[in-house]
């Protein structure tokens, strides 16, 4: 395991109230940018009754999120259903505050399905957690999360 375990959140884990239910001792470090991917909702979570967030490879794509320090991945692995529903994988993101690239962990849906519309409740978790992201990305995110308006 890494000396400093870093985690890239791009969905409901950006909402720190939600994240704190499953992960103790995390600390927000910086907004970050993942290139070569887009944000998707490629899995239906029946327990939550919603489409859930995923990173999907796409040339020219961009996903903004938040990088956290986490003491370990036990709570996150459980929350994300690793390795059955999501798999934890290494990605490289650009750390906005530090202005450098870093290898971090993220979760990606294992068996991608069709695109689902997130529930309003799930979309609000993401939206509230995205407050520190760039204005341009938040505008794109708003349109994706709330296609019929907020």
Q: Is residue 1 included in any domain, yes or no?
A: no
Q: Is residue 71 included in any domain, yes or no?
A: yes
Q: Is residue 139 included in any domain, yes or no?
A: yes
Q: Is residue 148 included in any domain, yes or no?
A: no
Q: Is residue 57 included in any domain, yes or no?
A: yes
Q: Which helix (H) or strand (E) holds 20?
A: helix 16-20
pLDDT tens readout for residues 1-13: 445 799 999 999 9
Q: Is residue 150 included in any domain, yes or no?
A: no
58-74 mean pLDDT? 97
Residues contacting 20, CB < 8 A, separation 6+: 26
Check which CATH number belongs to the domain holding 112 and give it: 3.10.490.10
Max Cα distance, the chain (Å): 44
Question: Could you give the count of Cα atoms lying within 13 Å of 50 in the half-sphere of its Cβ?
Answer: 17
3-state DSSP assignment of residue 128: helix
Please report the pLDDT score of residue 45 as a whole number.
94
Range of the domain at 109: 6-143
Q: Is residue 125 included in any domain, yes or no?
A: yes
Please report the pLDDT score of residue 3 as a whole number.
58
Q: Is residue 38 included in any domain, yes or no?
A: yes
Q: Extract the tokens encoding 97.
A: 């505050």
Q: Which residues pair with 92 in a beta bridge?
A: 103
Please report the pLDDT score of residue 60 as a whole number.
98
pLDDT tens readout for residues 67-114: 999 999 999 999 999 999 999 999 999 999 999 999 999 999 999 999
pLDDT tens readout for residues 13-35: 999 999 999 999 999 999 999 99
Q: How confident is the model at residue 150 (pLDDT cuts 50, 70, 90)?
A: confident
Contact criterion met (CB below 8 Å) for 114 and 39: no
């Amino acid at each position: 395991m890494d000396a400093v375990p870093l985690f890239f959140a791009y969905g409901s884990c950006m909402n720190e109230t939600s994240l704190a239910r499953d992960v103790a001792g995390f600390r927000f470090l910086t907004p970050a940018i993942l290139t070569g991917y887009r944000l998707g909702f490629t899995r239906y979570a029946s327990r939550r009754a919603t489409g859930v967030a995923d990173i999907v490879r796409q040339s020219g794509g961009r996903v903004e999120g938040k990088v956290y320090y986490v003491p370990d991945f036990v709570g996150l692995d459980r929350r994300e259903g690793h390795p059955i529903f999501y798999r934890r994988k290494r990605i490289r993101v650009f750390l906005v505050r530090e202005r450098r690239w870093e290898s971090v962990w993220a979760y990606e849906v294992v068996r991608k399905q069709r695109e689902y519309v997130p529930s309003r409740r799930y979309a609000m978790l993401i939206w509230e957690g995205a407050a520190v992201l760039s204005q341009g990305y938040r505008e794109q995110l708003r349109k994706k999360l709330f296609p019929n308006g907020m």
